[in-house]
Amino acid sequence: MRFLPVPSFLLLGMFVAACGAETNKDPVAEAKFQNEKRIGNEDVTSKQERDAGFLVNVASYSMLDVEMSQMAQRKATSPDVKYLAQLIAGEHAAMQKALQQLASQKSIVLPTGLGAEQAKRLGELGALNGPAFDRKYVELLESSHKTSIDDFDDMSDDAYDGDIRAFAANYLAPLKTHLDAAEKLSDKLPK
């Protein structure tokens, strides 16, 4: 049996197609899948699965807040919005670093990029300019922080893992401060 040589352009096409298929995966869904797979293989409890899901969601929303805030530092017209964006970008970057260390200790896979929902929100924000951008940024901050505060509050009491419980308790107050600042700023911005 003889094998015929495969033309190099076909090999290149197959390689590009394979690489393209990889990049179309939602990073959040992929992280959740990897954690579920590991959890299933290790016969981990549903409480530990909930802990892993919490860390994946925290990573996803925190990345969104950082990327939105970096964009706001460049595009916002209000100095107050720029200041809040700078504060949030810095504090969420520090939280992400602590989150990555915790996830590494617990062998939990975190997303490497924004999920489809978060990318859509970032795209909608990026399409705006001027006061409309400022209002949308603050609105998205309020929304993401309300969701995060609920999750952090629950997990600061109910997380199975003590380190994850402590992480949630530690970052709950700064998230509340961010939400309060965003709500006050929302009231000041022109409608």
Give mean pLDDT, residues 19-39. 65
The HSE-up count of residue 6 (CA atoms within 13 Å, CB side) is 8
More confident residue, 71 or 22: 71
| Mean pLDDT calculated for residue range 52-68 | 94
For the chain, domains (ranges, CATH) are 27-188 (1.20.1260.10)
Three-class DSSP labels, 112-137: CCCCHHHHHHHHHHHCCCHHHHHHHH
pLDDT tens for each residue of 112-131: 999 898 999 999 999 999 99
CA 123, CA 108: separation in Å to the nearest integer? 28
Q: What is the model's pTM?
A: 0.77
User: 140: which residues sit within 8 A by CB, 6+ positions away?
Assistant: 64, 68, 121, 125
Cα gap 102→138, rounded to integer Å:
29
Q: What is the pLDDT of residue 19?
A: 40
Nearest-angstrom CA–CA distance, 170 and 56: 17
State the amino acid at position 111 in one-letter form. P
